[in-house]
């Protein structure tokens, strides 16, 4: 089967150029000599590639440094302040966008608030109007390298299709094709938790880790699995649906929106508390520590369920880090989080106890995460090869 060529594939660089670009991004400042050593390419090939990248203003030269032997070495870095990307957050009640440079400095923003998305074309129309407004704020549209979209819900990131858009149920919403043909820029779409994982693995508290899990307890529950520095998407792009682990039974058995019952998300997420107990996170938090023991009892069951689910996950996947985050965890940061951290060693085999648990208290803005997706695609040789092969 031949794949249709898209504007993003037109931007495909040769594998060698991608290798060099990746090294400058991840290890810069770096000299041409070091680039040749680390890439295994000849000096001449490196020089040709670097000249092209300098001409396109994608990399820049710094002050030459003294070298112990031979000529002075000129350090090369990515010209991050003059490369831009647009990040869009698609939520049920708003579409928010921001224009950032590759240092993540925000240069503009735009937002459309709505009562409810009516259908796919309504969503697309709003997204385009946010992008159009941001394009007007771009200092130099030529330097815009792509559009990233963060969407809560299930996303087929390979095809750029949202399988279950927020508030629209199971109505697939194709974003990449229409947006790439309208703007002539690469467009990347990803689920919000996968994006958070990519961002933290690239810049944040998971940098340096190769095998890790991100768990977000928020409106819903989402998970992302990074194995050998690759995001595991699963055969139908829904890997990491940790919220549907079966965790409750008996009087705590509630039907889940997935069609099953007893899923972790039915009590361990904000939407679950609202649907099944008819209360907000704040009210639940207050009642758990009140005189009334009934809520404390539910809280204890939730705590046990999270503990077991995370323990089983660690036993199964043997990650070096597990990062937990989200408003639900934040509300119980003095109780649930320390309990989880202290109990994990007794729940996993000795061989898995090297795992480090991290509580990420403040998440970056979704638009920033979406920009990170564009940056990741531009400089990651593995992703480039996978996307355009």
What residues line the site for Zn ion (CB under 5 A)? 244, 256, 258, 260, 263
Quick check: 84 and 148 in contact, CB under 8 A?
no
Question: Which C-beta is closer to Zn ion: that of 188 or that of 242?
Answer: 242
Q: How far is the CB of 312 from Zn ion (least distance, A)?
A: 16
Q: How far is the CB of 224 from Zn ion (least distance, A)?
A: 18
C-alpha distances out from residue 266 to 167, 254, 281, 302, 362, Å: 18, 6, 13, 10, 24
* N-to-C CA span, the chain: 12
Q: How far is the CB of 168 from Zn ion (least distance, A)?
A: 19
Buried b (16+ CB within 10 A) or exposed e, 218-248: bbbbbbbbbeeeebebeeebeebbbbbbebb
Question: Which C-beta is closer to Zn ion: that of 148 or that of 240?
Answer: 240
Question: Which C-beta is closer to Zn ion: that of 100 or that of 244?
Answer: 244
Question: Which C-beta is closer to Zn ion: that of 36 or that of 253?
Answer: 253
Q: How far is the CB of 191 from Zn ion (least distance, A)?
A: 16
Structural Rg of the chain based on CA atoms: 23
Question: Which C-beta is closer to Zn ion: that of 260 or that of 286?
Answer: 260
Q: How far is the CB of 257 from Zn ion (least distance, A)?
A: 7
Question: Which C-beta is closer to Zn ion: that of 107 or that of 260?
Answer: 260
Q: Which two tokens stand for residue 93?
A: 């009640």
C-alpha distances out from residue 112 to 50, 179, 187, Å: 41, 18, 20
Question: Which C-beta is closer to Zn ion: that of 185 or that of 267?
Answer: 267
Q: How far is the CB of 256 from Zn ion (least distance, A)?
A: 3
Among 92, 110, 201, 114, smallest CA distance to 147 is for 110
Q: How far is the CB of 260 from Zn ion (least distance, A)?
A: 5
d(CA 219, CA 268): 9
Among 186, 177, 188, 84, smallest CA distance to 135 is for 84
What ranges in the chain are assigned the alpha helix state H? 7-10, 15-27, 32-39, 43-55, 120-137, 176-183, 192-202, 270-272, 281-288, 293-317, 327-331, 336-347, 366-379, 381-388
Question: Which C-beta is closer to Zn ion: that of 267 or that of 340?
Answer: 267
Q: How far is the CB of 246 from Zn ion (least distance, A)?
A: 8
């Amino acid at each position: 089967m031949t794949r249709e060529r898209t504007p993003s594939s037109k931007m495909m660089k040769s594998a060698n150029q991608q290798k060099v670009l990746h090294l400058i991004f991840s290890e810069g400042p770096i000299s041409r000599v070091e680039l040749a050593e680390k890439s295994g390419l000849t000096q001449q090939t490196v020089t040709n590639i670097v000249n092209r990248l300098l001409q396109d203003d994608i990399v820049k030269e710094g002050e030459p440094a003294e070298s112990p032997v031979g000529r002075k070495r000129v350090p090369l870095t990515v010209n991050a302040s003059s490369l831009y990307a647009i990040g869009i957050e698609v939520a049920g009640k708003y579409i928010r966008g921001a224009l950032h440079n590759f240092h993540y400095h925000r240069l503009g923003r735009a937002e459309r608030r709505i009562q409810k998305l009516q259908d796919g074309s309504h969503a697309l129309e709003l997204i385009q109007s946010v992008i159009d407004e941001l394009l007007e704020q771009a200092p130099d549209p030529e330097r815009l390298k792509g559009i990233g979209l963060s969407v809560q819900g299930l996303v087929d990131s390979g095809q750029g299709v949202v399988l279950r858009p927020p508030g629209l149920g199971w109505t697939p919403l194709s974003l990449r094709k229409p947006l790439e043909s309208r703007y002539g820029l690469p467009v990347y779409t990803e689920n919000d938790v996968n994006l958070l994982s990519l961002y933290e693995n690239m810049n944040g508290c998971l940098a340096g880790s190769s095998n890790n899990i991100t768990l977000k307890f928020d409106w819903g529950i989402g998970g992302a699995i990074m194995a050998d520095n690759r995001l595991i998407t699963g055969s139908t792009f829904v890997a990491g649906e940790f919220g549907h682990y079966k965790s409750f039974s008996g009087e705590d058995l509630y039907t889940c929106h997935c069609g099953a019952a007893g899923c972790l998300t039915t009590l361990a997420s904000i939407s679950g508390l609202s649907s099944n107990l008819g209360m907000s996170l704040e009210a639940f938090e207050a009642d758990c520590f009140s005189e009334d023991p009934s809520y404390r009892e539910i809280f204890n069951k939730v705590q046990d369920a999270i503990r077991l689910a995370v323990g089983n996950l660690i036993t199964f996947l043997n990650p070096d880090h597990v990062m937990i985050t989200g408003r639900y965890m934040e509300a119980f940061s003095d109780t649930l989080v320390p309990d989880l951290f202290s109990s994990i060693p007794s729940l996993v085999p000795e061989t898995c106890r090297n795992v480090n648990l991290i509580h990420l208290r403040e998440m970056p803005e979704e638009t920033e995460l979406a920009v990170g997706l564009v940056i990741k695609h531009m400089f990651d040789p593995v992703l480039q090869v996978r996307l355009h092969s």
